[in-house]
Amino acid sequence: MNASASVPKIDVDSMIQAVKNSAKCVQALSDRRGDLPIVKRNVETIQNEVGNYYSTLQSSTRTAEHGASFAEKAQELCTLLMDRTVPAAEIHEHIADMQVLVEVAQRDVTDTTESFRDLRTNMNTIGESIGGDRSALVKQQDTERARYKEADDDRDTITGGAIVAGAIAGFFFPAAIPLIAKVAYEARKEKKKVMKDSTNEISKLNTALQELENIKSGIGQMIGHIDKQATWWVQVQTSLTAISGNVSNFQADRSMRIRLGGMRDQWGEIRSKYLEYQTEVARLSW
């Protein structure tokens, strides 16, 4: 609210949507498992950051709580200003209480923004690590693929050689031929399994990397929204200062009193949105 009787705009809906979007990715990562040590290490590191992200989201509800409380007080202020019989001293006291709330909210907004920025930095570091480990797994896959081909070639060579040798030797040991072929086949089968496992782990790591990017994007959105909250709190502080110096004018202006009724409704909508944000974060669990 300012001297021209308007309510500063704040997009709480986008904050709520950002929480919902990132929650989907966070839940997926919190359930992720890895078999290879290289994958397991990254998964565990990410899951630690998921816990930090959850804590930071929880702390962001403090700013939402301040917003809801302020909106409620702003509704009360509108009601006071609409009543010409209310003493100016009572209104000034109410405004002073609101200004204290603004100062507390600004400190919490600053702390929350820094927490989100720290999280984004950590996520960037993890992303770089995953990128390197993914390359290592690709190399591992190439090695296993080469070994598989070698085992495959050995199987053909051993099988063919055994048959030729058996024929030249007059089939002295015919039972050995299928045994040799079976040993080569089992060796190739084992290599194929290792190669398949490696491929699966690469796929899991790629998925985790994409989910990590999604979370980073969500964190970036949250930083933007929290920054806008910081701007919003500056605007409401400026508005309170302006109103404090014009209480008598607000009470004396009939058209202003009419507009205050609409403003009171707008503050009610803002309060509802902040409460919705708190509810959305509270229902998250992972």
Q: What is the pLDDT of residues 184-236, one digit of tens each?
A: 566 667 766 766 766 666 666 666 666 666 666 767 777 787 788 888 998 99
Inside any domain, residue 152: no
Inside any domain, residue 257: yes
> Residue 25's pLDDT is what?
61
Inside any domain, residue 246: yes
Task: List all residues 6 or more positions away from 190 whose beta carbon is below 8 Å from its beta carbon.
Answer: 151
Inside any domain, residue 151: no
> Residue 165's pLDDT is what?
45
> Residue 179's pLDDT is what?
58
Distances (CA, A) of 145 to 120, 180, 193, 196, 205: 37, 22, 11, 9, 19
What are 201's two structure tokens? 């782990």
Inside any domain, residue 144: no
Inside any domain, residue 255: yes
> Residue 52's pLDDT is what?
79
Give the number of domains in the chain: 1
Domain hosting residue 49, numbered range: 12-137+222-282
Inside any domain, residue 65: yes
Inside any domain, residue 120: yes
CA distance linking residue 180 with residue 161, whole number of Å: 10
CA distance linking residue 138 with residue 109, whole number of Å: 43
> Residue 131's pLDDT is what?
62
CA 179 to chain centre: 56
Distances (CA, A) of 20 to 11, 57, 118, 269, 279: 15, 11, 21, 20, 12
Q: Are 5 and 260 in contact (CB under 8 A)?
A: yes
Give me the tens of pLDDT residue by residue for the chain, a chain 286 residues long: 444 457 888 888 888 887 777 666 666 555 555 555 655 666 677 667 777 778 888 888 888 999 999 999 999 999 999 998 999 999 999 999 999 999 999 999 889 888 888 887 887 777 677 666 666 666 766 766 666 566 556 555 544 544 444 444 444 445 555 555 566 566 667 766 766 766 666 666 666 666 666 666 767 777 787 788 888 998 998 889 888 888 988 888 888 888 899 999 999 999 999 999 998 888 876 5
CA distance linking residue 43 with residue 2, whole number of Å: 50
How many C-beta neighbours within 10 Å does residue 108 have? 19
In terms of residues, how long is the chain?
286
> Residue 91's pLDDT is what?
95
